[in-house]
Amino acid sequence: MVESADGGYDADEGLVGEGPETDQEMPLADHIEEMVYRLGVVLVVMAIVSGLVFPFGDYIINFLWYSVLPGGDVARPRVYHPLGLILARLKVATLGGFVIALPVFVYQTYLFMRPGLYEHERRYYLASVPASLVLAAVGVLFAYFLILPAIFTYFLSYSEQSVDAIAFGLSQTFDLIVLMMGLFAAVFQIPLFVMLAIMMGLTTRAWLASKRLYFWGAFLGIAFLFSPDPTGMAPIMVAATMIGLFESTLLVLKWVGR
């Protein structure tokens, strides 16, 4: 431990003392106003990106549909609602906006917290912005290549035993596709937030490891809350992925000695 000029000390986790020079007291109303403004920026960016993606909705729908669903007559989409196709295009556009909005959200939280951050904490936070986009893209690809094909294969395996003809409705099926892709884009942010919290001195790897069962329970609750699959297949896969990412992050941190 090394004493600092202001009576605090320098440690591996950060600085303890008076706080950053840019840190200033603000009224609660000003904090709330700025927070609402930052969230508004995220929503505006999400809306703009969604508007840019919307004209390409038909192409994206066909690409995703015939990529993750089985071939043949079974895979042909059925539209049971007059606005079914329009709503599916909106869902695809919203997914694109959500993926891009994730790093924007991280950056806006950085701007919100910047006055209270030390210089090394600012570097950590800024580095997390491109990392958030990369992790979101990896999450979408993970859902596309592994999760969705497994879910639809499972659906067909038990449906073919009890029915003669199987049909997929466009709206209901795309609800599942978009939700799974968006959910995994968010789920893959877990390593980022765990490492960011530890690097900024908000917690330690040992504390997270000691509370892992609580985190596992929270992951299971989130997975079953946001998954529309009544069979339990999708939420189990989501929860297993969340737990795997959490434990893998702790393992990497232990390996690097942080």
Residue 201 has pLDDT above 90, yes or no: no
pLDDT for position 27:
79
Determine contact, residues 173/77, Cβ cutoff 8 Å. yes
With bands split at pLDDT 50, 70 and 90, how would you rate the model's confidence at 16? very low
Q: What is the mean pLDDT of residues 53-68?
A: 90
Determine contact, residues 17/4, Cβ cutoff 8 Å. yes
pLDDT for position 157:
77
21 burial class (0-12, 13-18, 19+ CB within 10 angstroms)?
Answer: exposed
pLDDT for position 110:
92
Q: What is the mean pLDDT of residues 124-130?
A: 91
Residue 89 has pLDDT above 90, yes or no: yes
* Rg of the chain, C-alpha, whole Å: 22
pLDDT in tens, 226-246: 766 666 788 899 999 999 999
pLDDT in tens, 134-191: 999 999 999 999 999 888 888 877 766 666 667 778 888 888 889 899 999 999 999 9
31-47 burial: b if 16+ Cβ within 10 Å, else e: eeeeeeebeebbeebbe
pLDDT for position 195:
92
Residue 17 has pLDDT above 90, yes or no: no
